[in-house]
Amino acid sequence: MVHFVPKTPQNIQTSFLQPDTFFTLFIVRYTQTTLKKIEELFGELDYSIRYEKGNFQSGYCLVENRRIAVVNRFFDTEARINCLMDILSSLEFDLEHLSDKSRELIEKWKKANEE
C-alpha cells in the first residue's frame, strides 16, 4: 500500500526536519502496532492525539497552540495512520529530541522510500 507524505531533500545538513521535507511515498503495514508506534512518536513530540467525532474536512484538525491532534473517531486503523502521517509531515521537529526507537522507525520509513 502506497500513500503520500512529504518529500526527503537530498541535501539536508542537520537533523532538524521542516514540514514537507522528510517523508515521501512510503509503505507501511496498517496494524494496531504501527498505529501505537506513531502515537508514541507524537507523544515524544509533546502532541496528544484525540479521537473525536466532528466535521473535519480532511479527517483531522490541529488545535492551534495546544499541540493536540484531533482525528475522526469513526476512521479505521488505516485511515487513522494516514491522518497521523499527514499531520506528522506538516510538523517541524528535531530528530535529536526523539528516542532511539522513534529515530529508527523514521529511518526505516526513509529507507523503505529509497528502495
3-state class (DSSP) for residue 27: strand
Distance separating alpha carbons of residues 115 and 111, to the nearest angstrom: 7
**Is the residue at 84 inside a domain?**
yes
CA 43 to chain centre: 11
**Is the residue at 69 inside a domain?**
no
> By the 8 A CB rule, do 110 and 85 touch?
no
User: Range of 105's domain?
Assistant: 2-45+77-114
Q: Which of 69, 73, 105, 81 is nearest to 3 (CA)?
A: 81
**Is the residue at 9 inside a domain?**
yes
Total structural domains in the chain? 1
Average pLDDT on 14-20 reads 41
Q: What is the pLDDT of residue 108?
A: 83
**Is the residue at 29 inside a domain?**
yes
48-66 confidence digits (pLDDT tens): 999 988 777 777 787 878 8
Residue 73 CB coordination number (10 Å): 11
- Kindly indicate the confidence band of residue 1, based on its pLDDT and cuts at 50, 70 and 90: very low
Eight-class DSSP state of 93: E
**Is the residue at 90 inside a domain?**
yes
**Is the residue at 66 inside a domain?**
no
**Is the residue at 96 inside a domain?**
yes
Q: Which residues contact 17 (CB under 8 A, 6 or more apart)?
A: 92, 93, 94, 95
Q: What is the pLDDT of residue 51?
A: 93
89-105 confidence digits (pLDDT tens): 888 888 888 999 999 88
70-84 confidence digits (pLDDT tens): 999 989 999 999 899
Longest distance between any two alpha carbons in the chain, whole Å: 41
The pTM of the full predicted model, rounded to 2 decimals, is: 0.71
Q: Which residues contact 6 (CB under 8 A, 6 or more apart)?
A: 19, 20, 21, 22, 23, 24, 89, 90
Q: For residues 73 and 111, which has the higher predicted lDDT (pLDDT)?
A: 73
**Is the residue at 82 inside a domain?**
yes
